[in-house]
Structure 1
């Protein structure tokens, strides 16, 4: 149950961060950084869930 809330919180954090990055940087670089951050976050979450 806590994992679901943690994932929701992380997702919200990533979305707000991505919006800030897309606003701050030029568009293509923002997309690249955002995709890299999301990939790293997903891999970290999947690694944590594995026993």
Structure 2
């Protein structure tokens, strides 16, 4: 089964330790995903 969540939901789940990137992905993949999320958040904040 597959779910789509918002970045805010993801932040909450990660902050509360319900999910951890490293449990699902290699360290390199986790870092890439974190970078992509940070970029998306920055773009949303600037209205891009």
Distance 1:41 1:33 in 2: 12
Residue 14 of structure 1 deviates from its aligned partner by: 6.8
Kindly tell me the number of residue pairs found equivalent between the two proteins. 37
Structure 2 unaligned regions, length at least 5? 1-7
Cα 1:41/1:21, change in 2 over 3 Å: same
Partner in structure 2 of residue 25 of structure 1:
25
Matched, 1:13 2:6: no
CA-atom RMSD in angstroms: 3.0
Displacement, 1:22? 2.3
Give the TM-score normalised by structure 1. Answer: 0.51
Q: TM-score, normalised by structure 2?
A: 0.53
3-state secondary structure, aligned to 2:28: helix
